[in-house]
Each structure stands twice: as C-alpha cells, then as structure tokens.
Structure 1
Amino acid sequence: MMKAWRKTSTLACGLVWAAAIGESSLRAEVLLRDDFNGSGNVNTAVWRLPFGEEGSFVGRTQFRGDPATDLPQQGLAEPLASDGKVAELYLDTYSPIDPGNQFLGTDLLTKQNFARGGGLTFESRIRLKPTTTGGLVGGFFSYDVQRESPPGTLVRDEIDYELISNQAIGGAPTNDPFTNFWNEGPFTGPGAAGAGQFHNVAGLNLTQFQNYKVEWTPAAIKWYVNNSLVRTQTTNVPDDPMKLHFNLWAPDSSFSDAFNAALTPAATSGANQRYALQVDHVEVNRINTTLSANLLADPSFENQTSPNPNGTGGWTVFNNAFYDGVNLLPQDGEVALKTFGPFHGSTDASGAFQNVPALPGQQFTSSIYAYSPSGDSIFGRANYTTIALQFVNSGGAVIGSVNFSPGTNQKETPIFDGRDPNLIEDEWLKYSVDAIAPTGTAFVRMNLFFIQTQNEGGAVWFDNASLMRLDSAATFASADFNQDGFVNGVDLASWKAAYGTNAGGDADGDGDSDGNDFLLWQRQYTGPNGVAAAGAVPEPGSLALLAFTGAGVACARWSRRAL
C-alpha cells in the first residue's frame, strides 16, 4: 500500500524557480500534492482524523475518530474527476454514538501545519456529491488553535471555503460559495462570528467540480473560484501556522445560513441517509519566500562527540537516546539517533533537543526523517514520537510551543503512534512542523521526543533534521496582483474582475482599478509562463482587447493616450 501512496501523494521539496520582474529570484515550493487516486485509506503519512479536544463535535455532528475504520477512502471511481478518481468524506444521518440526536460526519486534516512565510497558496477541486440535501456544509479550510490570549481563553486562526447545500437546492438554487476567516478569533463553532460572505459566481454549481483557491500573504487573503478572484481581505490577516482540513457536517441553528430543520438524525441504522463531499485533488504551495540555510548544527547526527549540555551549537541527548551507526541503516550519513523509553514507570520521554537564536515574529519550518522498525516495534504499545518547536526566552523558560506542551491548548501530532492501527513500519518517513516566534523569544528549540506512557518496549530512529527560517522574498511588480512572481493572464483576470468596482486590480496605487492599471499590467507582462520573450508584451489589439470585451472602446482610448 505504501507504493500506491507514494504514487498519489507528494509531501515534496519540488522547486520551481522563476524570474521576478527584474527583482531577485523567487522560489515556489510544492509542500503538498495529493490526487487521491491510490487505493484504500487516504495516505496516513499525510492525513489523520481529529482526536482529543480538537472539536470532534461541531453543530449537530460528531466527527469520526477511529483510524482503523473511519478514514476516508481514496481511488473511488468518479468519471467527472480530472483523473477519474476521488476521495469521499461522508456524513451519515445515523450515528451509533447517540442515535436520533446527532449526525456522524468526517473531518480530515493534515499532520503537517504550514507557516505563511512570504505567502502560501492552497487549492482543491471539490464538490458536494449530487443527490445532496439542505443543511450540509462541505469545508475546505486552514485552521489551528495556536495559543491562549489572554491566558485561559482559546483563540483561533482560520481561512475558509464552505459549500453550503442550502445554496444548491430548491426551485432556483443560488449555488454561492461561502468564505470566512478569523485572526485570533473566538474559539467557537465553524459558522459563528468571523466575517462570512457569499459570492455570486455566474454559472457556478456546488454539486459539480470547481477549483477553489486561497492565496495567503502578509498583505492579504485572496479567494479564487476557477481562477477568478471573488474576495480580497487586506486587514486583520491571520499570521499563525495552520493545518489544512476537509470536512462534511450538519450545523445547528446558530449557523442560520446553513441550518435546515428538515435534515434530522436517524434513530435506526436502516433509516440512515449518506451524503458525500468529493475531493479530486489538493495542492499547497509556498510562494514569495526565501528559506535560510539549515540552522541546526550536526543535523544528521554525525558528530558523536556532540551532545552539548545546553543544546546550543549541538544536540542535547537525554534519557534513552544515543547516536547509533550499528543497528539501523541511517537515512543520511553514517549515524542516526536511536530513541526508546526511559522506563521510569510513568509517562516520560527520551530524545534530543537543540536551541537556535531567534527573534519574535520570525517564522520557522522544521522537519525530520523517522523510522519505526518492525523488528523493534512500538505497534500495539502506548508509545509515540513527535517533533516539536518550542520558544525559549533569555532566562531559559519555555514561553510557547507547537505540537507538544503541558498546556491545554496544544495538540500533539504523532509521527509514529503505537496505538495507531495504520502505523507505518520499516520506512523512513519525513514529518514537518512550522511555528512563529512569540514576543519574548530568544531561542527556537527543536525537540525530538520518544514518549513512553507505560513501561513498554520498542524504538524509533531519527535522522536528517532541518530547521530553517522563512522570510518574505523580493518586492513584487505592481501589476503582480496575486504576488506569485509573474505578471500574466491570472493578473489580467484579477484586473478584469475588479475593474470599476474595487482595488483588486490597482497597479498604480490610486485606490481603484481602471485603464491606467491595465497599461501597467501590459508594460510588466512576463508571458503566460512567467518569462517574457523579446517583444512579447501584448498590444491592446491582441491579447488585451480579447481579454476584456465590454471595455474595448475605453481600452482603445487608454492606448491612444499612452502613445
């Protein structure tokens, strides 16, 4: 099954370099691509179900949580999918947990979180499967609860697309997609508060596949449907790293736009009705961002004279962890880090950590390769491993963390968990976690933990660690409205959508989208693939005039004025 996953899912370092309109080079990096065209469960190296206190009950819906039986299936035949195959997330009107009182829905989320850096895009081709009913919400969104602000009060960052089935039913369905966002917003239900908006997109059908995309930069959030800009948000933009989710659920009356009293829970399994959200593919890209060199000393555990007692300038190894070049072939170099339980009779950890100088507001991405061998297995045992980023002040106190914390607001993301029936063994697997440094940070600390909750055996190896800083890249051309380093037809479409109505196509900084902005787009044009050939700037009589029919007379007038 792993071979099938490798063909269909990419957690990649696939790099695409492009010239940035006379500025320094930008790198676009594919962080996640999944076409869901394998077989069986979705890739458990990439995806998981919610657990613990992660909002497993929302609205009137209990989310599935058993990784043995509840994971969505991929490779399901669908002729309208781009490759003929999809994954499906289900909502059942019958829930064996509380029959007649709740629904059983699905929430699927990435194990990796994604820091914004200079910018991210995430997009997916999805639909509500036809024969749907009112009262359903199909979600595609980024989300995380990052910290308590003030202490004891949970806050969340979130950027949403929601397909609301009320929009797709009735004699004259509107089929309007819904967008929303929160920046350190209240920790409330998905439909509560925020800044939700419906968008009237001509000819759109929520029960047919459409491409939904979000571009998230420090300056703005931009939502696109089939490459047409439908919304721009330039204030209160979220900044915390977030995981990516798909879900299907039924809200209660607090989400009035999506609630439908006619959709009721079934009291018996025989009365169950099943509905589906179909996912054709998903992709996440990092844009507009430069990455530092690896900030870690001895990232591949080759310096066996290391462990450094304070974790600065090398790894500090604690409890039952040691540099091992004998028992397992390393992923990189000649040595890996072996970890196993400290056998103290209660929950405790072995592992290693390293401190790197950091400043408040800096964003970091970390990764590690890990290996769980069947010959020294943790399967069926209460042991698990994580990577974690912690932030340390000048006095040595931990002031924030992602993925492991004694606090109530952090959720561990296991690399390997002995209690997971889908545990992957005998494979080097790469895992990542991103984080942003809070106020007071002096160091970022990368931790590698083997956590033992009982006196049970098994071991996990770590190798080839990375910790890099994410920085915004070069200045963008003024007509590069989506800030991807190119000035091309996508930016022209943004100008068209904004013309005369908003500043989404403002290239000259005067606060509106008009003919002067088109002229700047024309002069900065880089060609359809981001690299302009000599003499390739389109004339108003060719590409440009074809692109904005309905404004032809005005365009001709602007062109004459420019001569």
Structure 2
Amino acid sequence: MLTAQWQLTWADEFDAPSINTTDWDVLTRRDSFNDELQYYIPEQAAIAQTEGRSVLRITATDEPLDGKAYRSARLESNYSQAYGRFEVMARIPTTKGIWPAAWLLPRDTPWPLGGEIDIMEHGGSRPNVVSSAYHWNNVPNFSQFVFGEYHAPAGQGPWADDFHEYAVEWDTRAIRYFVDGVNHFTVTPDMAPISSTPMSVILNTAVGGFFDGNPDGTTQFPNTFDIDYVRAYQQTGNVTNLLTNGEFSNNSNGWLRTGNTFVESHDPEGSHAFDGFGDHAIKLFGFASSKLIQSGVSVTGDSEYTLSANVRINSNDSITGTNNLLVMWMEFFDGNNNSLGSEGGVIADGSINNNTWLLRELTGVAPSDAVSVNVGFEFIQPNNQGGAVWVDSVSLTESLAIALAGDYNNNGVVDAADYTVWQDSFGSTTDLAADGNGNGVIDAADYTVWQDNFGQSASGLGANVNIPEPGSALLLLLGAGVLYRRRA
C-alpha cells in the first residue's frame, strides 16, 4: 500500500509583525452577499499574540460605519492552487449572528462556475457544530450545494474554547473534509462535479445574514477569529504524470499535432487561452483532421490508468448549439506494436458550459500483454460549423492504492496491530508511521483516527470487533495530548 505524501507549496504562519500584503488582499468592501450586515475594512485584521501563538486576528465589532451596523475583515490569498490539501489552524468565535469561515474560491471565474469549497464555516448560535460545504453550477449566481455538519466530540467543549485544525483534501475523485484529522464529510463525483479550477484561500467573519441570522441582545462584541496558520500542499509520491509536457509549458513538445491544432499562451485579457494551467493550452477546431497525440507511453499490463484533461469553450468562439465534438481516447499496444484495443469518449460538445475549465477523465485497464499506450484528442466537425475547444493540463496516471486511515502497518486492515504501532511510537516526532492526521507527532489525535476506522479493510468491509483501549499510563498521556498543539 502507498501512503499519499504531501509537499508544502505555500503557507503563512502569521509570525511577521504585520499582515503580509504580498500574500493577502485585505478587503475594503461595504456591501456583501447573503444579507450580511458588516463593512469589511483592513483595520479589523491584524497580527496578535495569544497563548504563545502569533495569529492573524479578525475582529468583528458593533461600531457603525457608513450605514453599516458592524465592522469586520476579509482576507483573500493571492496564491491559487488546483487540488491538494489545505489546512487552517484556528480558534473561532461563537456568539449569535456571527459567521466565521475558511474557504476556497477561484479569483477570476464567475461564481459558482469554478466551484466553492467551504473548509469550515460556523453559525455562532450553535457552539458545538461546524460545517463544510461544496457549491457548484453551470449558471452564474445560482448555486447547487451539498454540506456536512460535524458536532464536537463527547467531552470536548464548544469549538471556540480551543484551536482546531480544519482541512480539506481535494483531488479529481473526491473532496474530503477534516476536523482535527477526522474525515467528517466527503464529496464524490456521483454527488457533484469536482472542480478543477485553481482557488484562493478566503478568511473572514461575516455578521448577520441567512447562515445564522442577525445578532441579538445575546451577541457579544467584540469577538475574534484567530488563525494560527494556513498551509497548502500538493500530493506527491503516488501521483506521477506519465505524459511529457502535459501542461504544454514547453509549447507542444512531446505531442503530434495535425490539422487546426494550435498552441496558445494564456492571456486573461485577450482572446487566447485565458486563465489556465502552466503557460499554454492547445486550441482544436476546423474541418481538417485536427488531432493532438502522444505515442509510445510505457505502461504495465493489468494496471488501471486514468487519462484526464481540462477542456474549455470560450463564448467568443463557442461550439454551443453545434454538432461539433471533442473526443479523448487511449489505445494500448503490445511489444510488436499491435493494437490491443482502446477506450474513448466525447469530452466536449455543444451543450457544455462556456468560459470555465471542466475536468474530464477516462479510465481503462491495460491488457496483460500491453507495454505502451497512445493518448489523444480529436476535434470532429460534421457540419462545417464554427467554434473551438481548448485543452490543458493533460495527465495519464496509474491507479495506486492509498493506505487506509488508521492502517499504520499498511497490511490492508485497521486492527489491533495498528494500535501497537501507535502505542510503541507515542510521542515520537521521527517515527511517523502512526501519524494518522499528518501533524508531525504521534499523539492522541492519531489514536482517534485509528479508533474511528477500526475494523475497516481495503475491501471496504468493516469487522464486528471490540476496540482495544489504551493502558492507564497512556490514558494519562492522552489526556495531556488533547491539550497539546505542535507548530512546525
């Protein structure tokens, strides 16, 4: 079994004397959506010290400003990323009508065409509940969404009593939400289309609005949202793109282009590839045999492979309402270059949404005697109608198993042997086989990860068994561990 590895790509530990305005836009905004009542101004956000931590502090107050009854702050990161893991360590305010949130949103794509990932949001009148959500649609300003709530575990006080880590892991197959290492909610493609649009981090406290209603006589001001750190990671180790130049950063090197197939640089202000991935995208159009092909990619027989690509139709050169198609395919070959069969399908047609990148995937199993695969795209124009399709960020990956949460010895089942691994390494910062929540230390939270998944196996079947309890000495350590928070 191969455990997913994460490489840090961007972070703010809020250790500087003031907010890094190179990394963050600190908004001045009078009017917001959702019937909110606050005026966002930069003066409501600052670096503060609390309990030995240097934090970003967002303060909401009941001081009127320009017709608004309340003041607060909202920060948006200048860094954007598609996919990966995002972590926010924070202590949230809890009082009626207060709505703190940590979330992801595309910077330049009309909402909600590129999706919205709400890592954590909290209605202040429900002190023991936080929630996570995902919004999407192909119509601007109208959202479909799914959400999950997470209640504070037994014995824990309200969320505002301490710092907690809120996280999301986002890839092509799922969006998984975590609180203190517990995966409490997951969005899968059968529930909603998974966005592939790069997103920025947003941190804010809204006042009033539909989420928790408006403040009343019980609401406490000022209240503070303290953020200890924000970190972004990309997955490494078990996801390798087998294709050459899949983001077309090196023009079209490694690819065969035929017909009307052109390399265009990303140009947000012009009529070219607009925003996207890497430096370039490929434009396919016209009645000629317009194809994009990469040949002779090595594969292993009986292994499963996923070919993915992002496609886009721009409204100024759209195929909407036409019979034009873009097909994606992969064809396997043996050692004598004999074709062993292919997989393929339509990934863009006249019905898809314009002006946003859409992820498309194709999965196939290589025949046992396969040694290579060709992958490609073909633009089909049956009626000489206009329009073009853009292709970007193409990848071919071999499907590899990811370790079960709590399976600390990687034998495919979460059992008593994994408890022993955790017990033997408790407190370690170097032997991290049992670091179930990935915080760099073996602690009580890793026991909870193991406990919550006990009996699970790689087949997805749980066993009806009793969960071992830690010994008395470890129970004392666990009690201390609940209060311990490690900073890198």
Q: Residues 219, 396 of structure 1: CA spacing in aligned structure 2 closer, same or farther, 3 A cutoff? A: closer
Q: 104, 107, 113: which is aligned to 2:80?
A: 113
Q: Residues 487, 237 of structure 1: CA spacing in aligned structure 2 closer, same or farther, 3 A cutoff? A: farther
Aligned residues of 1:145 and 1:157 also touching (Cα < 8 A): no
Aligned residues of 2:148 and 2:184 also touching (Cα < 8 A): no
Alignment of 1:114-513 (within 5 A): 114-116=81-83, 120-128=84-92, 133-144=95-106, 156-168=115-127, 175-184=128-137, 194-202=146-154, 203-207=156-160, 208-234=162-188, 235-237=190-192, 239-240=194-195, 241=197, 242-252=199-209, 254-256=210-212, 259-262=214-217, 273-287=221-235, 289-291=239-241, 293-295=244-246, 312=262, 354-356=280-282, 362=308, 391=312, 397=318, 435-437=357-359, 469=394, 474-477=399-402, 479-480=404-405, 488-490=434-436, 493-499=448-454, 506-509=456-459, 511-512=461-462
Matched, 1:30 2:17: no
- Cα deviation for residue 188 of structure 1 reads 7.1
Q: Residues 187, 290 of structure 1: CA spacing in aligned structure 2 closer, same or farther, 3 A cutoff? A: same
Residue matched to 2:428: none
Deviations 1:505-528 (A, max 9, x none): 632435445459x9xxxxxxxxxx
Aligned residues of 1:479 and 1:487 also touching (Cα < 8 A): no
Q: Secondary structure at the match of 1:41?
A: coil
Deviations 1:388-421 (A, max 9, x none): xx8358x96598xxxxxxxxx989xxxxxxxxxx
Q: Secondary structure at the match of 1:496?
A: helix
- Cα deviation for residue 125 of structure 1 reads 0.9
How many residues of Structure 1 are paired with residues of Structure 2 in the alignment?
A: 350
Aligned residues of 1:92 and 1:273 also touching (Cα < 8 A): yes
Q: Distance in 1 between matches of 2:207 and 2:67?
A: 15
> Which amino acid in 2 is paired with 1:20?
L
Matched, 1:86 2:86: no
Q: Residues 187, 79 of structure 1: CA spacing in aligned structure 2 closer, same or farther, 3 A cutoff? A: farther
Counting aligned pairs with the same residue, the percent is: 15
> Which amino acid in 1 is paired with 2:159?
L
* Structure 1 unmatched runs, 5+: 1-18, 169-174, 265-271, 301-309, 319-346, 365-389, 400-408, 412-434, 447-466, 500-504, 519-539, 548-563
- Cα deviation for residue 278 of structure 1 reads 0.8
Q: Distance in 1 between matches of 2:273 and 2:146?
A: 40
- TM-score after normalising by structure 1: 0.48
Q: Distance in 2 between matches of 1:317 and 1:232?
A: 33
Q: Residues 511, 297 of structure 1: CA spacing in aligned structure 2 closer, same or farther, 3 A cutoff? A: closer
- Cα deviation for residue 136 of structure 1 reads 0.9
Q: Residues 42, 274 of structure 1: CA spacing in aligned structure 2 closer, same or farther, 3 A cutoff? A: farther
Q: Distance in 1 between matches of 2:101 and 2:272?
A: 38
- TM-score after normalising by structure 2: 0.54
Residue matched to 2:328: none
> Which amino acid in 1 is paired with 2:120?
Y
- Cα deviation for residue 281 of structure 1 reads 0.4
Deviations 1:107-155 (A, max 9, x none): 2222233222xxx2211110125xx632211111223498789xxx968
Q: Residues 41, 195 of structure 1: CA spacing in aligned structure 2 closer, same or farther, 3 A cutoff? A: closer
> Which amino acid in 1 is paired with 2:201?
L
CA RMSD of superposed structures (Å): 5.4
Q: Secondary structure at the match of 1:40?
A: coil
Residue matched to 2:49: 77
Aligned residues of 2:87 and 2:167 also touching (Cα < 8 A): yes
Deviations 1:234-276 (A, max 9, x none): 4525511333221101233x334x6543368xxxxxxx94322
Q: Distance in 2 between matches of 1:512 and 1:410?
A: 44
Deviations 1:191-246 (A, max 9, x none): x9643424132314422211122223444433332223334444525511333221
Deviations 1:442-485 (A, max 9, x none): 68869xxxxxxxxxxxxxxxxxxxx85456564214635799x9
Q: Distance in 2 between matches of 1:248 and 1:73?
A: 14
Deviations 1:3-57 (A, max 9, x none): xxxxxxxxxxxxxxxx827xxxx6633222110111223342x22246899x834
Residue matched to 1:48: 25
Q: Distance in 1 between matches of 2:398 and 2:73?
A: 37
Residue matched to 1:340: none
Q: Residues 43, 542 of structure 1: CA spacing in aligned structure 2 closer, same or farther, 3 A cutoff? A: same
Aligned residues of 1:124 and 1:212 also touching (Cα < 8 A): yes
* Structure 2 unmatched runs, 5+: 252-259, 284-291, 294-305, 321-353, 362-376, 380-387, 411-431, 437-445, 476-488
Q: Distance in 2 between matches of 1:61 and 1:311?
A: 51
Q: 64, 67, 79: which is aligned to 1:98?
A: 67
Residue matched to 1:523: none
